[in-house]
Amino acid sequence: MENLSEPIVQIRQLTKSYHRGEQLVPVLTNISFDIFSGEFIALMGPSGSGKSTLLNLIAGIDKPDSGSLKVSGIDIATLSEADLADWRAANVGFIFQFYNLMPVLTAFENVELPLLLTRLSRNQRRERVELALSMVGLTDRMEHYPSELSGGQQQRVAIARAFITDPVILVADEPTGDLDRASANDILAMLERLNSEMGKTIIMVTHDPHAAKSAHSIRHLEKGELDVTN
Amino acid sequence: MEWRIFYLAFLPGFSSIIRRVSGEFAKMHFLKLILRNTLRHKLRTGLTVLGLMVAILAFGLLRTVVDAWYAGAEGASSARLVTRNAISLVFPLPINYQERIRRIQGVTAISHASWFGGVYVTPKNFFPQFAVDAKTYFNLYPEYLIPPAELKAFLTDRKGCVIGRKLASTYGFKIGDTIPLRGTIYPGSWSFTVRAIYDGAEAGTDTSQFFFHWDYLNETMKKAVARRTDWIGVYVIEISDPDRAAEISTEVDAMFRNSLAETLTETEKAFQLGFVSMTEAIVVAIRIVSFLVIFIILAVMANTMAMTARERIAEYATLKALGFGPRFLAGLIYGESLAIALAGAMTGILLTFPVADRFSEQVGTLFPVFGVSLETVYMQAAAAIAVGLAAAILPAYRAARVSIVEGLRSIG
Amino acid sequence: MSVPLSYIWRNLAARKLTTLLTAGGMALVVFVFATVLMLEEGLRKTLVETGSPDNVVITRRSAGTEVQSVIDRDQAAIVENQPEVAYSANGLRLASKETIVLISLAKRNSDKASNVLIRGVGQKGIELRPQVEIAEGRMFRPGSTEIIAGKSVAERYKGAGVGETLRFGQREWTVVGIMDAGKTGFDSEIWGDVDQLMQAFRRPVYSSVILKLNDPAVFPQLKIRIENDPRLTLEVKQESVFYAEQSQLLANFIRYLGMILSIIFSIGAIIGAMITMYASVANRATEIGTLRALGFRRKNILAAFLMEALMLGAAGGVVGLVLASFMQLFTISTMNWQSFSELAFSFTLNGAIIIKSFAFALIMGVTGGFLPAARAARLNIVDSLRAA
């Protein structure tokens, strides 16, 4: 287990803007904060507050204009495109609002997908995938295609895919945004278990206060700035 | 269930395993993904494969037509020379040149042939007919295989003829049949009895020809138009050494310079190519068209791949987020494009053979040699692969370049 | 109430690459289709306009071509003096006894040889062909070794330009003029004095006799009389019919090859249009549902998608025709299998071809668009609204 005194994510003076036509629109200005190992953080804020952008930056699928962004000691803002891809494969688990499963792959194959980037043998992969799917309660749905699963079931496959590689952080962008209340509660309970039982660091973007309650702490973003009243 | 099991089972040293296994990560999975993607839009893939099949088939047939055009020259020997009247082919040469040419050193045999140009029932039934020096002609053409008994029967029948296997099967001629011809160059009604049928020694041998006795033609003309006797069309000369072809040709032509009928001698191959070059414009047009069909199908194929890739941008972004590189995505798109192209090529190539056979039956003796060459098959496969690769360039480039954030946003 | 055109048009414009590729494929097919028609038309124009309906060509029975035909001097004299033959202003018969031979000449650009038709014409030869004009130089003098060359022969063959000489029949012949025969078959011939040419080639016979009738209506009676005369084994044809028959094999070849190619190629283009239109329908299921919810009928939806396919076809048609129109700059010269001589003709575009090609493009569009449009029209409102 990591040393609790050392933050796993260390963000300093992070700034990001987008070009909208001729105009430069600032999205994040001078953000600095830390996330410690084992934390479960909810990022909240109105549309356009920059919460998704911040999540994308932490997950290494977007690049900041300036500032530093260290995850387990590595400044990912300086990594090349290819190194970043390797880094993501090893360190980040993704959970999306619309699940983003490959429609041509079965539940089993979708969860197995990230393991194809590892040296694991076929049998090792199968053992892990079967266990992961049993953990999310989908043992009997392994050979089903996403189109044959409900929204909640699809999101559970996505969660299994996210933690199968044992990533350092899990990022979830509106994981319950497309689900009914009951399914949403299921998903939140699983995220809580990932956090409490496996000690996963989770960063979740949501605009649903009910979902945010699952988190240890809530960070509010307003017009690209962190509201530190919390 | 206790989720910690996951850790107890797998954690030790787990993170260290997560390393890119460059190049050879699970190829099976890669191919499976390509195959499933290909079958995702069955209608679209099916239509594209169908289009490719038709295009590859058309390409193959057009190339085979061009090959057929050159078949005469292809089958010609470089050890045979053809001597014709220098003015043009329609002018004859006197028969007495035969002895003079034979005496030239290096000439091992000589015979002659005259274009008859007769019509069998209607002008549509075209096949070449030659009045030849029966005793010598077939010695010069070992590629025409005639059973000795039949050849003997032909030699003893003044009004007999020798026909090729393809000609015989096209019109159903059998040994002993009488073939009536209406003369265009040599007026009148003529009739010949089939005494021999020859086979080709090779696939490229023209077996659509008709040969008969020049002596018979000459005697008949003697009675009708005395001025037209003792003339022949071309001499065919066999030489001992093909390397001396140019030298002997010059010698023959020099012998008859400033005579009433000056000659032009060239190798049989050059002689045949001369015919082809007169209709070169048509050959060029067919060649151009055969490449146009590839461009047309390229447009169709490129469209299919562009649409497919556009619809899957969100998936590509997800794969990228999971750590798959641009090369993997490009591989998926190139793989799918090639899979479709090869499916079309395979069916197209397989269809080329029966269709070419049908076509050959339909045109009969117009194209004496009509067969799909190995080179054509290679060209078809190469064209399909080129189309498959070219169609994937732009979509693969776009997919490799797509930003993950943008790509994820394009969902739903 | 129908779906506005601007909506349809913008849908095409929104997917530029797909629209471009689909219309591009169709354009190539239309180009091939139009080019073949233009070639056929060029050949037809060249050979049909070579003959005039008032003129009659007489050749030996079943010779087929002038090159293979032989007419004795006695026979020619009988033919020339038939009562139906017109008189010229100076009281002579409008008839030309001609001799035709093929000579092999080398091309200017490649040195490859091809057969060129040499026509020995009588004094009335030119008068019988009003379409032939001397474009450069002058007419040959009767009784001399002077010749005139058709425009396309002069351009293509070594020694066939004005002032140059050709050697054949053991004599040197000087080219003194170029004839412009208005793109007819005579542009591919060389003309000289008939008696001089017969001497040079040691040919004591004519090949054909060309006559002008004093009245086209008397053609049948002349034909019957000559063809039934036991002294003459001759055949009588109207000049226009004679030349049309000369090119039949080549014209048929171009037509059949063109037809087969057009059919095969259009299958490819129709498939392309179908793929595009199916995708267009699938991508816009929600839009279709919305339009239907707003009150548009199934037939409006069908019409809108058919219109989109028609626009694709029309775009392909226009581009294909523009490309094809450039082909008018080219001339094809190839051996005519029937006469064994080289014939030059150019791609000719006319109104009928434009209409045919454009119709062909639209038909391809509609054929490709019909099934997808029918699917769009069949979509159920609720399902398609949910298809997002």
| Shared domain check, B321 and B180 | no
Q: Tell me if C231 is assigned to some domain.
A: no
Question: Do B147 and B249 belong to one domain?
Answer: yes
Domain boundary among C190, C212, C234: C212
Q: Would you state the pLDDT for residue B343? A: 95
Q: Is the pLDDT of residue C212 over 50?
A: yes
- C-alpha–C-alpha distance, residues C150 and C127, integer Å: 16
B190-215 pLDDT, tens digit each? 999 999 999 998 878 889 999 999 99
pLDDT value at position B27?
61
All residues of chain C having their beta carbon less than 8 Å from the beta carbon of residue B44 are 275, 278-279
Quote the CA–CA distance of B287 and B140 in Å, as a whole number: 34
pLDDT at C93 over 50: yes
| Domain of residue B228, residue span | 87-261
> For C89-95, what is the mean pLDDT?
85
Rounded mean pLDDT, C366-374? 90
Asked if residue B10 belongs to a domain, the reply is no
- pLDDT exceeds cutoff 90 at A73: no
What's the Cα-to-Cα distance from C113 to each of B115, C48, C147, rounded to whole Å?
Answer: 20, 27, 20
Q: Are residues B228 and B139 in the same domain?
A: yes
Return the pLDDT at C325: 94
Q: Report yes or no on C237 lying in a domain.
A: no
The answer on pLDDT for B411 being more than 80 is no
Q: Tell me the residues of chain C between 283 and 312 that have a Cβ less than 8 Å away from chain B.
A: 283
Looking at the structure, tell me whether residues C62 and C159 fall in a common domain.
Answer: yes
First to last CA, chain C: 26
Mean pLDDT of all residues in chain B? 87
Is C79 inside any structural domain? yes
Interchain proximity A193–B314, CB inside 8 Å? no
User: Do B131 and B238 fall within a single domain?
Assistant: yes
Q: Is C40 on the interface with B (CB under 8 A)?
A: no
Residue A204 has what pLDDT? Answer: 95
Between CA B300 and CA B298 the distance in angstroms is: 5
Q: Is the CB of residue B412 less than 8 Å away from at least one CB of chain A? A: yes
Sole residue written with tokens 């045919």: C356
Q: Is residue B267 part of a domain?
A: no
The nearest CA of chain C is from the CA of B41 a distance in Å of 10
Residue B152's pLDDT is what?
Answer: 94
Nearest residue on chain B to A164, alpha-carbon basis: B6
Residue C20 has pLDDT above 50, yes or no: yes
User: pLDDT by residue (tens digit) across C249-302?
Assistant: 788 888 888 888 888 888 888 998 888 888 888 878 888 887 787 778 888 888
Between CA B309 and CA C387 the distance in angstroms is 20
Tell me the torsion sign for CA atoms B19, B22, B24, B29: positive
**Which pLDDT band holds residue C125 (cuts at 50, 70, 90)?**
confident
Q: Judge if C174 and C261 occupy the same domain.
A: no
In this predicted model, which residue has the larger pLDDT, B78 or A66?
A66
Per-residue pLDDT, C358: 95
Is the pLDDT at A185 greater than 90, yes or no? Answer: yes
* B253/B374 same-domain check: no
pLDDT in tens, A129-153: 999 999 999 999 999 999 999 999 9
Tens digit of each residue's pLDDT (9 = 90 or more) over C191-211: 999 999 998 888 888 999 999
Same-domain check for residues C67 and C176? yes
The confidence score (pLDDT) of residue C113 equals: 80
Residue B144 backbone phi and psi in degrees, to 5? -95, 110
pLDDT-derived band of residue C110, with 50, 70 and 90 as boundaries?
Answer: confident
User: Does residue B363 sit in the same domain as residue B396?
Assistant: yes
**Same domain (yes/no): C34, C80:** no
Concatenated DSSP letters of B241-272:
-GGGHHHHHHHHHHHTTTSSS-EEEEEHHHHH
Task: Look at residue C191 in the predicted model and tell me its pLDDT.
Answer: 94
| Average pLDDT, integer, range B66-90 | 85
Reported ipTM? 0.83
Number of folded domains that form chain C: 2
Answer yes or no: is C222 within a domain: no
**Residue B306 touches partner C, C-beta closer than 8 Å:** yes
Compute the nearest-CA separation of C89 from chain B (Å).
37
Residue C233 domain-assigned? Answer: no
- Beta strand C208-212 with C95-106: parallel, antiparallel or unpaired? antiparallel
> Does the pLDDT of residue B6 top 70, yes or no?
no
Domain boundary among C212, C234, C268: C212
| pLDDT band, very low/low/confident/very high, at B20 (cuts 50, 70, 90) | very low
In this structure, the answer to whether residues C145 and C110 fall within a common structural domain is yes
* Total Cβ atoms within 10 A of residue B53: 23
Q: Indicate the range of A11-15, B155-159, C101-105 predicted with least confidence.
A: C101-105
How confident is the model over B245-287, as pLDDT tens digits? Answer: 888 999 999 999 888 888 989 898 888 888 787 778 888 888 8
CA distance C54 to B62: 42
Would residue B266 count as lying in a domain? Answer: no
Are B354 and B287 in a shared domain?
yes
Residue B76 resides in a domain: no
Percent of chain C with pLDDT over 90: 25
CA C52/CA B60 separation, integer angstroms = 43
Please report the pLDDT score of residue B12 as a whole number.
43
Per-residue pLDDT at B158: 92
- B357 in a structural domain: yes
Distance CA(C312)–CA(C27), nearest Å, equals 10
Looking at the domain assignment, is residue C230 inside a domain? no
Q: Is residue B372 part of a domain?
A: yes
Q: What is the mean pLDDT of residues C349-359?
A: 94
The pLDDT of residue B1: 58
Q: Which pLDDT value is given to residue B289?
A: 86
pLDDT band of residue B21 (cuts 50, 70, 90) is: very low
Residues of B in contact with A59 (CB under 8 A): 321
Are residues B150 and B113 part of one domain?
yes
Nearest chain B CA: its distance from A33 CA (Å): 23
B374 CB neighbour count, 10 Å cutoff: 7
Q: pLDDT at position C341, please? A: 79
On whether both B93 and B67 belong to a single domain, the answer is no
- B390–C contact, CB cutoff 8 A: no
Confidence at residue B16, expressed as pLDDT on a 0 to 100 scale: 44
CATH of domain A7-227: 3.40.50.300
Q: For C245-278, b where at least 16 C-beta lie within 10 A, e where not — what string?
A: bbbebbbeebeebbeebbebbbbbbbbbbbbbbb
Considering the domain architecture, whether residues C175 and C118 belong to the same structural domain is answered as yes
d(CA B286, CA B276): 14
Pair (C197, C275) in one structural domain: no
Residue B7 has pLDDT above 50, yes or no: yes
At residue B141 the predicted structure's pLDDT band, cuts being 50, 70 and 90, is: very high
pLDDT confidence bin for B389, thresholds 50/70/90: very high
Contact list in B for residue C332 (CB cut-off 8 A) is 281, 285
pLDDT at A2: 45
Domain count, chain B: 2
Is residue B368 pLDDT above 90, yes or no? Answer: no
**According to the model, what pLDDT value does residue B345 have?**
95
Same-domain status, C38 and C177? no
| Predicted confidence (pLDDT) per residue in A78-135, tens digit | 888 888 888 888 889 999 988 889 888 899 999 988 888 887 888 888 998 999 999 9
> Which residues in chain B have Cβ-Cβ distances shorter than 8 Å to C28?
292, 295-296, 299
Residues in contact with B162: Cβ distance below 8 Å, sequence separation at least 6, in sequence order: B138, B144, B146, B150, B151, B154, B195, B196, B197, B198, B210, B211, B212
Mean pLDDT value of segment B103-118: 92
Confidence at residue B9, expressed as pLDDT on a 0 to 100 scale: 58
- Within-domain flag for C160: yes
Range of the domain at C311: 5-48+248-386
Question: Is residue B334 over pLDDT 90?
Answer: yes
Q: Specify the pLDDT at position A120.
A: 81
A neighbours by CB contacts (3+ pairs under 8 Å): B
Confidence at B15, pLDDT banded by 50, 70, 90: very low
Q: Is the pLDDT of residue C352 over 90?
A: yes
pLDDT at B8: 57
**Has residue C81 got a pLDDT over 90?**
no
Q: What pLDDT does A228 receive? A: 58
Q: Which of B198, B232, B261 is the last residue of a domain?
A: B261
Whether chain C has a CB inside 8 Å of the CB on B201: the answer is: no
